[in-house]
Amino acid sequence: MKIHEYQAKELFRRYAIPVPEGGVAATVAEALAIADEINAYPLVVKAQIHAGGRGKGGGVKLAADREELQQKTCEILGMTLVTPQTGPEGRLVQKVLIEQAADISRELYLSLLPDRATATIVIMASSAGGMDIEHTAATMPDKIIKVSVNPLQGLQPHHIRRILFGLGIAPDMMKQWSALLAALYRLFVENDCALVEINPLVVAGSGSLLAVDAKIELDANALFRHADLQKYRDVNEEDPFEAKAREYNLNYIRLSGNVGNMVNGAGLAMATMDIIKQAGAEPANFLDVGGGATAAMVEKGFEIILSDPNVRGIFINIFGGILRCDVLASGIVEAVKKCSVTVPLVIRMEGTNVEQGRKILADSGLQLITAVDMADAAAKVAEMVA
Ligand code: GDP
Ligand code: MN
């Protein structure tokens, strides 16, 4: 789960990681109140959206005085911000962070993320931080220092030394850096993060460190044990279909194709998406209704698939185990009647009570296309959406 910069900075403060003074505002009046409290210009106005590259898209602006702050806030609040990471549709800015501007002498890059391949936490650092880090990573990968930390051992002094020597940190600055790295590592582990990134990590004119930007992704599967972090969820930033699916306890991921599909079991769902692609079509979603799905969940699944305007056909692929085929078939019939399905529906069903299930479908009077196996179903649906 992604969180906003202002929320990430709240977490940083808890771990004594230095961040600029500031506050978040949803209106111009709130922004001015924060500015008046800080009252040390220049200030920065920063769009709060779950995407990076805001600087390049015009979502980060400096204000030299109160009047300018009001003007920049008016510009950014409510704008649809398009950045290299938002896609062409952009994101609506509903909040801004008002902060004291940093006096920047150097911009560095620092991030932590889990590396599945080595089962370690990788710390990445670069002295070439700032807005073009992606370019640096692509063209000068040797400018990026990577250190892997075994989570069972934790962060050791030798890890820290490798990062600091790699960045060319002066000896009198090392204590400050070590403290920052230790705090970040602790934050990462204690909050079950999937990513912590500071870009830029600024060395101010005075030599002190400051996290000018903050990006955190939390592991959604670990959120249940962090009651304090759940409030950071921002439904406005989520895909509306995915948010709705979560309400109904459905595992749904929206994709860009046009074959909607509903499957029980994540493994079968993956196989279904593969076979759709193999048949020459593209899945519009991943949807696992789960082994113990009810007829009501099937109906909700339908509703979500059908609300996606890209969907031209639906492939239902069910193995009746805990969810019996007759229950599923009744659910499908109910749902199709209720949702007025306007696209072709291909069904492949096997397992417990499959004969009763097929009979329910056949007797329903609905235009359903049945398939003998997965490959047959995929071929049929692919042909219909072509
Ligand atoms: P991002 O573009 O979404 O990653 O947003 P950032 O918070 O990283 O801001 C983009 C860029 O704006 C940074 O790389 C800085 O160069 C600049 N910037 C951000 N905050 C400040 C600040 O307080 N002072 C100055 N001088 N520049 C800033
Ligand atoms: Mn940044």
Q: Which two tokens stand for residue 322?
A: 């805990």
Examine the domain organization and report whether 121 and 60 are in the same domain.
no
Pair 314, 342: CB distance under 8 Å: no
Q: Where residue 26 sits, what CATH number does that domain have? A: 3.30.1490.20
State which residues form the domain around 210.
1-20+103-237
Exposure class string for 333-357: b at 16+ Cβ within 10 A, else e: bbbbeeeebebbbbbbbebbbbebb
Calpha distance 334→367 (Å, rounded): 13
Q: What is the pLDDT at residue 181? A: 97
First to last CA, the chain: 35
pLDDT values of the chain reduced to their tens digit, one per residue, 386 residues: 999 999 999 999 999 999 999 999 999 999 999 999 999 999 999 999 999 999 999 999 999 999 999 999 999 999 999 999 888 889 999 999 999 999 888 999 999 999 999 999 999 999 887 767 778 778 888 889 999 999 999 999 999 999 999 999 999 999 999 999 999 999 999 999 999 999 999 998 888 999 999 999 999 999 999 999 999 999 888 888 888 888 888 889 999 999 999 998 889 999 999 999 999 999 999 999 877 777 788 888 888 998 899 999 999 998 888 778 888 888 888 888 887 788 999 999 999 999 999 999 999 888 889 888 999 999 999 999 98
Examine the domain organization and report whether 287 and 340 are in the same domain.
yes
Candidate from 93, 131, 210 with most ligand 1 atoms within 8 A of CB, to mutate: 131
Q: Is 197 annotated as catalytic?
A: yes
Calpha distance 44→100 (Å, rounded): 6
Examine the domain organization and report whether 15 and 136 are in the same domain.
yes
Examine the domain organization and report whether 36 and 123 are in the same domain.
no
Bridge partners, residue 237, by sequence: none
Examine the domain organization and report whether 260 and 340 are in the same domain.
yes
Closest ligand 1 atom to 20 CA: 23
Q: Where residue 209 sits, what CATH number does that domain have? A: 3.30.470.20
Nearest of 263, 254, 259, 257 to residue 381 by alpha carbon: 259
159 Cα: distance to centroid of ligand 2 (angstroms):
24
Last residue of a domain, one of 71, 101, 131: 101
Examine the domain organization and report whether 258 and 326 are in the same domain.
yes
Q: What is the pLDDT at residue 338? A: 84
198 Cα: distance to centroid of ligand 2 (angstroms):
7
Last residue of a domain, one of 237, 259, 279: 237
Q: Is 6 annotated as catalytic?
A: no
Last residue of a domain, one of 101, 116, 131: 101
Closest ligand 1 atom to 213 CA: 7
Q: What is the pLDDT at residue 15? A: 98
260 Cα: distance to centroid of ligand 1 (angstroms):
41
Give residue for tokens 């990590």: 201
Examine the domain organization and report whether 61 and 205 are in the same domain.
no
Q: Which ligand is nearest to the CA of 106?
A: 1
Examine the domain organization and report whether 247 and 373 are in the same domain.
yes
Question: Could you say which of 5, 197, 237, 299 is catalytic?
Answer: 197
Examine the domain organization and report whether 152 and 216 are in the same domain.
yes
Examine the domain organization and report whether 194 and 270 are in the same domain.
no
Pair 45, 60: CB distance under 8 Å: yes
320: CB partners within 8 A, 6+ apart: 328, 349, 350, 351, 352, 353, 354, 357
Q: Is the CB of 213 under 6 A from ligand 1?
A: yes
Examine the domain organization and report whether 113 and 86 are in the same domain.
no
308 Cα: distance to centroid of ligand 2 (angstroms):
33
Q: What is the pLDDT at residue 260? A: 96
Examine the domain organization and report whether 192 and 328 are in the same domain.
no
Q: Where residue 262 sits, what CATH number does that domain have? A: 3.40.50.261
Count of the separate structural domains present in the chain = 3
